């Protein structure tokens, strides 16, 4: 994936000098064994690097300073093997600006009932050592994930995996750069937002460029490079005959290839991780980029239409979270409904720009008119989305905070759509159609989303915790009356929690 740097997670064990060198040597040996086992047997997405056992306030502070200054440190896993007085962690935790996971485990899975003695009890004290740590984390109002269970437990590995994926996406946002060609679609509200607040709170920057900046780059590309890219499409996709070399519309395929090369060149030169454009600002372009945008998204860039920079960043974050999985994440829009009683479904699509990473099978490359934007017919990939569990996520600026909204869905089979020449997904909402839609609208959810077959609600919960933003989830457990009350409670919580900051 483009722009994804190497990242490691530090594993940290807490103790204290009180136990003496013999016990501390055992602590270090067992801690190292656990770290190595997690690295080799946990199937985790990021490397785990064990750190020296922390035994004093100075060591806790030094740990935080090192972690903050190491660009490859994506976060910390903390575990108190023995009792580690938590006052000694306060300064270090105050300084720490990396996310952390509190791992509540112990070395031995089973108690040695017949032989257990006070030496054993003295060594294996995580049951109360981690409670001491948990108190200071809560007392300091620190957002973190707590994973409880034995370090060989596959469920534990899965929960750490989710947190690591969120940590990698959070790190990717820090100093991330996103590009807007033009402005928002005119008069649209939900795609607006405070870009200064986003950079302060979320770490990424958004800046605008004229679409002619892209056109200028496209004009520098050689015809040979464009032709070579266009020829490669026939090896990857089912290309309509009219678009193939010698076909009546082959020039349109060449234009799509030029758009793709131009976008990639512009984004790489600027160090961008995603972009947005708008059909209302296409001066100098032959068409609204269709297949070019789809291909760029498939390479790992974030995208959203109509100037929606928040969804651009969110699509990128979900792509990073799902890195190493199937890769199925896309920009999406709730477009229209099938409202047959008991069989309600949502048809999701967009004018052109759905990522082929969610495609079920090889996409078709076609050309059709686009009745908006006033430009030539754009080339696009057409496909049905893969089936199975998925989710939609939306990031909104609520004025005094950002809200991350999630709806778990299931992508389902649907009839053929012979006259709909766009990529599409059809899904059923959890807990049901009426509840999900009502809850989404009550929460102010956008019509643009990041859609993924890979990313889970747990990953997004961890991500929201790292970001310090509100999370609202619509799933099988959602009841509308409780959901509305939760939204009301959240208004008070976030108002008080953020104070006068906006």
Which positions make up the binding site for Mn(2+)? 306, 333, 350, 448
What are the start-end ranges of the H helices in 220-274? 223-236, 250-270
Binding site per annotation, positions = 306, 333, 350, 448
Q: What are the angstrom distances between the C-alpha of 433 and each of 427, 439, 453?
A: 10, 10, 19
Neighbouring residues of 86: CB distance < 8 A, sequence distance ≥ 6 = 132, 133, 135, 136
What is the distance between the alpha carbons of residues 39 and 46, in angstroms, rounded to a whole number? 8
What is the distance between the alpha carbons of residues 126 and 105, in angstroms, rounded to a whole number? 7
Q: Which residue(s) pair with 394 in the sheet?
A: 405
Q: Which residue(s) pair with 239 in the sheet?
A: 365
Q: Which residue(s) pair with 381 in the sheet?
A: 365
- Asked if 422 and 356 touch (Cβ cutoff 8 Å), the reply is no
> Cα(first)–Cα(last) distance of the chain, in Å?
34
| Per-residue buried b or exposed e for 416-436, using 16+ beta carbons within 10 Å of the residue's own CB | eeeeeebbbbbbbbbbebebb
- Asked if 291 and 381 touch (Cβ cutoff 8 Å), the reply is yes
Give SS3 for 158. Answer: helix
- Asked if 96 and 62 touch (Cβ cutoff 8 Å), the reply is no
């Amino acid at each position: 994936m483009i722009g994804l740097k190497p990242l490691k997670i530090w594993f940290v064990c807490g103790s204290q000098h009180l136990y003496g060198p013999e016990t501390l040597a055992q602590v270090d040996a067992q801690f190292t064994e656990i770290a190595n086992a997690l690295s080799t047997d946990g199937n985790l997405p990021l490397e785990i690097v064990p750190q020296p056992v922390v035994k004093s306030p100075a060591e806790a502070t030094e740990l935080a300073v090192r972690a903050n200054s190491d660009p490859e440190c994506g976060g910390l896993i903390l575990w108190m093997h023995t009792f580690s007085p938590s006052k000694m962690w306060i300064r270090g935790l105050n300084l720490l600006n990396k996310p952390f996971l509190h791992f509540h485990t112990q070395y031995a899975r089973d108690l040695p009932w017949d032989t257990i003695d006070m030496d054993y009890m003295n060594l294996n004290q995580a049951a109360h050592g981690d409670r001491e740590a948990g108190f200071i984390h809560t007392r300091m109002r620190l957002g973190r994930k707590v994973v409880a269970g034995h370090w060989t437990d596959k469920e534990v590995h899965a929960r750490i995996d989710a947190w690591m994926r969120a940590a990698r996406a959070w790190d990717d946002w820090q100093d991330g750069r996103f590009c807007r060609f033009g402005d928002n679609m005119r008069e649209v509200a939900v795609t607006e937002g405070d870009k200064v607040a986003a950079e302060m709170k979320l770490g990424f920057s958004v800046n605008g460029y004229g679409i002619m900046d892209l056109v200028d780059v496209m004009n520098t590309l050689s015809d040979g490079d464009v032709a070579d890219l266009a020829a490669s499409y026939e090896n990857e996709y089912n290309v309509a005959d009219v678009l193939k070399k010698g076909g009546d519309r082959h020039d349109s395929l060449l234009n799509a290839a030029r758009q793709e090369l131009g976008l990639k060149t512009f984004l790489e030169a600027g160090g961008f991780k995603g972009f947005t454009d708008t059909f209302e600002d296409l001066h100098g372009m032959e068409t609204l980029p269709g297949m070019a945008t789809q291909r760029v998204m498939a390479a790992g860039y974030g995208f959203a239409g109509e100037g929606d920079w928040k969804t651009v960043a969110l699509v990128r974050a979900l792509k990073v979270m799902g890195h190493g999985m199937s890769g199925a994440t896309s920009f999406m829009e709730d477009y229209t409904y099938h409202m047959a009683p008991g069989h309600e479904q949502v048809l999701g699509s967009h004018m052109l720009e759905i990522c082929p990473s969610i495609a079920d099978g090889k996409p078709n490359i076609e050309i059709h008119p686009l009745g908006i934007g006033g430009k030539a017919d754009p080339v696009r990939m057409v496909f049905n989305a893969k089936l199975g569990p998925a989710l939609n996520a939306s990031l909104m600026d609520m004025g005094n905070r950002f809200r991350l909204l999630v709806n778990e869905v299931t992508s389902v089979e649907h009839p053929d759509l012979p006259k709909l020449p766009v990529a599409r997904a059809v899904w059923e909402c959890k807990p049901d159609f009426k509840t999900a839609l009502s809850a989404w609208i009550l929460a102010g959810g956008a019509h643009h989303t990041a859609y993924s077959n890979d990313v889970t609600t747990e990953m997004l919960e961890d991500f929201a915790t790292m970001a310090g933003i509100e999370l609202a989830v619509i799933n099988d457990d959602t009841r509308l009356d409780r959901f509305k009350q939760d939204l009301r409670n959240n208004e008070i919580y976030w108002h008080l929690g953020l104070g006068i900051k906006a």
